[in-house]
Chains A and B, each alone.
Chain A
Amino acid sequence: MIDVFFAHCRHTARFWPGGFFLSLILLAGGCATPQSDRLLASPFAHTPAVELTAVPFFAQTQYQCGPASLAMVLNWAGVPIAPEDLVPQVYLPERQGSFQVELLAATRRQGRVPYVLSPQLESVVSEVTAGNPVLVLQNLGYSWHTQWHYAVVVGFDMPQEEVVLRSGTEARHVVSMQLFEHTWARSGHWAMVVTAPPRLPETAEELPYLRSVATLEQVQRHAEAAAAYSAALQRWPTSLGAHIGLGNSRYAMGDLAGAEAAFRQALAIHPDTAVVLNNLAQTLADHGQLDQAQPLAVRATQLEPTNALYRETLEEVRRRAPRAAP
């Protein structure tokens, strides 16, 4: 995962003549567009053209394609925010640009789920077709003269082999699929979608999606996290992570009854799972139901005797209910 973030950026020199000629040699042999070729040979090729014309456009000011692109996808996901308001959150003055990880961080600060797509053109097409514009990082130049740029993919026209982007100062920037693939491949095929819970990305996979939702808990956006976990349970009904996340975020909001319900549902599907037993015990204890909490806490420590957290939970339950202690 982390490799995706920097695998493509080893060459940061602005200009190196040796690199220039080396690049030419490499390019001469490496001009293929495997993803476009594969896509155009697949059933995707027969899908009609799609364009999300209602995605808002913010023209970038100098160097600020990051805030502009992020504002477009955030507005689409229901956050009315202007690029200027995102500048202090993502822009790095000395580098005259924005980092990918800071776009992810700013998204969660707005209570939206940032989801990094798997690095395939098919993923981008699937998301756009499902109504999710895709924020992409491109290198418009070469490795020897990098030109990092963020843009938003809003449309595909398979018969014409074209991609439609909101890019820079152009509300509708149309490029050939092959040119898009070249510029996108040079960023390591980095792409993200922003969704408002309970909406899920079309191509979401269980663990990566839940990890992204868990980061909303880190920035105290518990209501949105709970909505996202609930939605995840619609798609993956037996997911342990989604059940725990739902319970934890309800607990963090002070909704102990809701948390208890989530953990009990988890226990029904995952009996004898120490995490569930511990979290349910703690929730019940905080709710004053110490008699019910104690056997659950005991069971958690029996399953994992070396876990310090479970032992501590059990001790706390016993401390609070001295009469029930053995």
Chain B
Amino acid sequence: MQMFRRLTRPVALTVTCFFISLSLHLPVAQAGLVPTDNVLTNTLTTPAHARVATWLGRDDVKAELLARGVSPDQVRARVDALTDEEASLLASKIDQLPAGGDSILGLAVLVFLVLLFTDIMGWTDIFPFTKKGSAKK
């Protein structure tokens, strides 16, 4: 019981600090300019919950990019340059988005070109548009 009492103060302090730190991230009404963004989206204030979600979303994107090989000293600048919309897109769809970069000399393209060639030569009939394309004129 004595031990429990001794712990009360530090625990209370920790909990208080935790809640204060949470509130630091919540938007507080401040005097200032209305940001350009707000005029363009016709929403003069972003609801508090949306901003907190965005803030969490950016941390998610950071973790996802780090896990996919982006160096730690680059990841912050990359995420900071994303808009809220883009950050939440990456956070939710990172494995489904197309990542342009396959070498155009890759195997798949080679197969594609071979099949395209055989189509044009009239040996196969895989790609209907080859005939349509060449018969265009």
Mark A residues whose CB is within 8 Å of B. Answer: 1-2, 5-6, 8-10, 12, 24, 27-28, 31-33, 60, 62-66, 88-89, 91-102, 104-106, 108-109, 137-141, 145-150, 161, 167-169, 176, 178-179, 182, 187, 207, 210-211, 213-215, 217-219, 240-241, 244-245, 247-249, 251, 275, 278-279, 282-283, 304, 307-309, 311-313, 315-316
Going nearest first, the 3 A-B pairs with the smallest beta carbon separation are A97-B101, A97-B99, A93-B69
**B65 engages A92 (CB within 8 Å):** yes
Task: Assign chain B's interface to a size class.
Answer: 35 or more
A156 to chain B, nearest CB (A): 16
Q: Is the interface of A mostly helix, strand, loop or mixed?
A: helix
Residues of A within 8 A of B32 (CB): 282, 309, 312-313
Q: List 13 A-B contacts (CB under 8 A).
A: A97-B98, A100-B98, A102-B82, A109-B77, A137-B98, A147-B104, A178-B136, A241-B36, A241-B40, A248-B33, A248-B36, A275-B34, A275-B39
CA distance A65 to B54 in the complex (A): 30
B69 to chain A, nearest CB (A): 3
* B 75-132 contacts with A by CB, 8 A: 77-78, 80-83, 85-86, 89-90, 93, 95-106, 108-109, 112, 126-129, 132
* B 5-49 contacts with A by CB, 8 A: 29-41, 44-45
- B112 to A, closest residue via Cβ: A141
Residues of A within 8 A of B74 (CB): 88-89
Which interface residue of B95, B98, B105 has the most chain A CB atoms within 10 A?
A: B98
Residues of A within 8 A of B67 (CB): 94
**B126 engages A24 (CB within 8 Å):** yes
Residues of B within 8 A of A315 (CB): 31
**A147 engages B102 (CB within 8 Å):** yes
